[in-house]
Amino acid sequence: MALVDVRRLAALDMHGLAGTRFRRRVILAEFIIGALGCIVLGVLVATRAGSLGWRVIGVGLVGVGVNYAVLALHAVSLSRSGALDAELAGLDIESELRRHTLLQFWIAVPLLLVALAVSQFRGRP
């Protein structure tokens, strides 16, 4: 079993407890803004930094932004009619939300979700 199922992480975040359309849109916007914001800020910090430490932080921000981009791509695909419900069919949403709330901290590990998403995409039928 993978550390985090990236698609399910995005799906659970979009659904929340109530599964409202408004929440789906807010979470999609969060993922897109998170991706763009982290990447832009990371590039600015990495290219304008005077010290190696700040450059490393900038590159790390870019990696986190790419993680958000992966979540945004999943969120876009889950926004199609019925896709989110199909992804979460048969799950105990409350239990999964408790588990995935802690797993969301892995987003802060640069490029981790990218690696997991690629391996999970290859493993899907």
pTM value?
0.90
The residue type found at 23 is: R
In the chain, the number of structural domains is: 1
Q: Is residue 49 part of a domain?
A: yes
Q: Is residue 1 part of a domain?
A: no
Q: Is residue 65 part of a domain?
A: yes
Q: Is residue 58 part of a domain?
A: yes
Q: Is residue 82 part of a domain?
A: yes
Q: What is the mean pLDDT of the chain?
A: 93
Neighbours of 118 (CB within 10 A): 12
Domain residues for the domain of 46 are 6-123
pLDDT digits (tens, 9 = 90+) for 65-120: 999 999 999 999 999 999 999 999 999 999 999 988 888 899 999 999 999 999 88
pLDDT digits (tens, 9 = 90+) for 43-78: 999 999 889 999 999 999 999 999 999 999 999 999
Q: Is residue 37 part of a domain?
A: yes
Q: Is residue 42 part of a domain?
A: yes
